């Protein structure tokens, strides 16, 4: 049975306490001529203490902007960010600096993460200096502890980024993020720039560190296999909005939003070397511009099951299952991802 609830994707009622709560968070950028880019457009979502929350969606749907807004790298246009019980939306000065210890970012591109002219030791030491660790021996000790945790030899501190592999650099990025003992980490495509052979090592390292250090993680990824492997819950984003949130297994076995289903079907097709049918192929077109967002449900121009109401009425939140929320008028009528695959299998040599 569908139960409409007043707020977007309220997950706070479930088991663990939220470490982070977003309430109707908006980030718009000016786009000239009085228009704006609706990069993040009313996101309400919680991240629970100790969980790994996956954030998925096509390129340009607002995942990185959401991350940057949460971490206060950019100011929110409106809405609220509540971290560890405190509204940090407008935190400034000393308080903001303190917050930056607790919330860290692991970047997508380890090759661009460090100053190419500096030794990695100097780069790694910088945040400790910046946050007032005056004693050199203490800084050295903290750096060595972190290198040990990420499985890197001390000698790397003398090297410059160009002398290291992508995997080593990504371990250093993780070490730097953890130096200040954060509670919360956002990892934005942490393995997409790496060779396939070392991706699993980095992902396993993140899981180990999360358990050892009692971290809470948001993992942004295009790769649904990575999300399935690592995450406790998954939030699906489309054109600035969260359209579905569910526990990992529920999302992968019983997705309800047509967008989630088509994303999963496309991923299944890729893995199986199978042809996707017309519905999936339709999604392969570009998403609409976040400047001129479609009326009603934003997904309706690309949705395989859209009806008239979808272009005029914004869908409310429905709860198809415990801890599972979705914004779709017809969430109970969407074909399952496996039904979206054609039966023929592509010749891999084609």
Ligand X SMILES: Nc1ncnc2c1ncn2[C@@H]1O[C@H](COP(=O)(O)OP(=O)(O)OP(=O)(O)O)[C@@H](O)[C@H]1O
Q: State the minimum distance, in angstroms, from the CB of residue 290 to ligand X.
A: 4
Count Cα neighbours of 78 within 13 Å in the Cβ-side half-sphere: 4
> Which residue, 64 or 216, is less far from ligand X as judged by CB?
64
> Which residue, 37 or 164, is less far from ligand X as judged by CB?
37
> Which residue, 62 or 320, is less far from ligand X as judged by CB?
62
Nearest in space to 252 (alpha carbons), one of 236, 238, 237: 236
Token pair of 164 as six digits: 């290291």
Q: State the minimum distance, in angstroms, from the CB of residue 79 to ligand X.
A: 16
Q: What single DSSP character describes residue 81?
A: E
Residues that bind ligand X (CB under 6 A): 29, 37, 39, 57, 59-65, 290
Nearest in space to 27 (alpha carbons), one of 100, 76, 86: 76
> Which residue, 26 or 305, is less far from ligand X as judged by CB?
26
Q: Which long-range contacts (CB under 8 A, 24 or more apart) does 146-152 make?
A: 146/175, 146/176, 146/178, 146/179, 147/175, 149/175, 149/178, 149/209, 149/212, 150/174, 150/175, 150/178, 150/205, 150/209, 151/205
CA distance 84 to 48: 10
Give Cα 18 to chain centroid, integer Å: 16
Q: State the minimum distance, in angstroms, from the CB of residue 206 to ligand X.
A: 19
Sign of CA dihedral 256, 65, 70, 123: positive
> Which residue, 179 or 186, is less far from ligand X as judged by CB?
186
CA distance 106 to 66: 14
> Which residue, 36 or 160, is less far from ligand X as judged by CB?
36
Q: State the minimum distance, in angstroms, from the CB of residue 220 to ligand X.
A: 7
> Which residue, 39 or 44, is less far from ligand X as judged by CB?
39
Contacts of 65 (CB under 8 A, 6+ apart): 27, 39, 40, 74
CA distance 9 to 315: 12
Provide the phi-psi class of 93: left if phi over 0, else alpha when psi is between -120 and 50, else beta: left
> Which residue, 35 or 97, is less far from ligand X as judged by CB?
35
Q: Are 303 and 310 in contact (CB under 8 A)?
A: yes
């Amino acid at each position: 049975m569908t139960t409409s609830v007043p707020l977007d994707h309220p997950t706070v009622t479930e088991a663990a306490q939220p470490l982070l709560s977003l309430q109707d968070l908006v980030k718009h950028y000016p786009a000239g001529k009085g228009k704006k880019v609706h990069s993040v457009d009313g996101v309400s979502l919680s991240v629970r203490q100790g969980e790994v929350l996956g954030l998925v969606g096509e390129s340009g749907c607002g995942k990185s902007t959401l991350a940057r807004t949460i971490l206060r790298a950019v100011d929110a246009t409106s809405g609220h960010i509540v971290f560890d019980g405190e509204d940090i939306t407008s935190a400034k000065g000393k308080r903001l600096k303190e917050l930056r210890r607790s919330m860290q970012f692991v970047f997508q591109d380890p090759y661009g993460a460090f100053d190419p002219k500096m030794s990695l030791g100097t780069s790694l030491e910088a945040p400790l200096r910046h946050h007032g660790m005056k004693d050199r021996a203490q800084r050295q000790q903290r750096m060595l502890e972190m290198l040990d945790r990420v499985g890197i030899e001390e000698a790397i501190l003398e090297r410059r980024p160009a002398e290291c592999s992508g995997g080593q650099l990504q371990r250093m990025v993780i070490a730097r993020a953890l130096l200040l003992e954060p509670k919360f980490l956002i990892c934005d495509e942490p393995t997409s720039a790496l060779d396939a052979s070392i991706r699993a090592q980095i992902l396993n390292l993140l899981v180990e560190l999360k358990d050892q250090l009692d971290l809470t993680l948001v993992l942004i990824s295009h790769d649904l296999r990575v999300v399935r492997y690592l995450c406790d819950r998954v939030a699906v984003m489309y054109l600035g909005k969260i359209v579905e949130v569910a526990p990992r297994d529920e999302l992968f076995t019983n997705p309800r939003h047509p967008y989630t289903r088509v994303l999963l079907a496309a991923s299944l097709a890729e893995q199986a070397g199978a042809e996707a049918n017309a519905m999936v192929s339709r999604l392969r077109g570009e998403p609409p511009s976040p400047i001129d967002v479609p009326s009603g449900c934003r997904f309706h121009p690309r949705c395989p099951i859209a009806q008239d109401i979808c272009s005029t009425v914004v869908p409310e939140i429905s709860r198809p299952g415990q801890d599972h929320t979705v914004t779709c008028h017809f969430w109970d009528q969407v074909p399952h991802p496996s039904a979206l695959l054609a039966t023929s299998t592509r010749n891999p040599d084609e």
